[in-house]
Amino acid sequence: MYVNGVAQRRGEDYELRGRELVFSKPLAKEGRLGPLRWLSIFLGVAGTYRKNDSVDVVYHAGGQRTVSAALPITPPEARGPQ
């Protein structure tokens, strides 16, 4: 399990609840960029410096090492009560 390329530890950095990974720190994906933001990037005026976490899971299935990369991130408020 990796977040932004950094190994994570079960019980310390995340918990497994059913089929979901629940992290102890908040994670976020950068939203869609609007036309003004694209224009500023294109003109070299500004970059995009928003938080954009990436979650990758390495596991063994059928005797082979498999990687699921850039998994979707669901914010806690979208998950509902635990």
pLDDT at 40: 78
- Taken in order 19, 23, 26, 32, the sign of the CA dihedral is negative
What φ, ψ does residue 36 adopt, rounded to 5°? -65, -40
pLDDT at 79: 64
- Interatomic CA distance for residues 14 and 9, integer angstroms: 7
pLDDT at 36: 78
- Interatomic CA distance for residues 43 and 37, integer angstroms: 10
Mean pLDDT by 10 residues, the chain (82 residues): 94 93 87 74 73 91 94 77 60
- Interatomic CA distance for residues 72 and 17, integer angstroms: 16
pLDDT at 43: 81
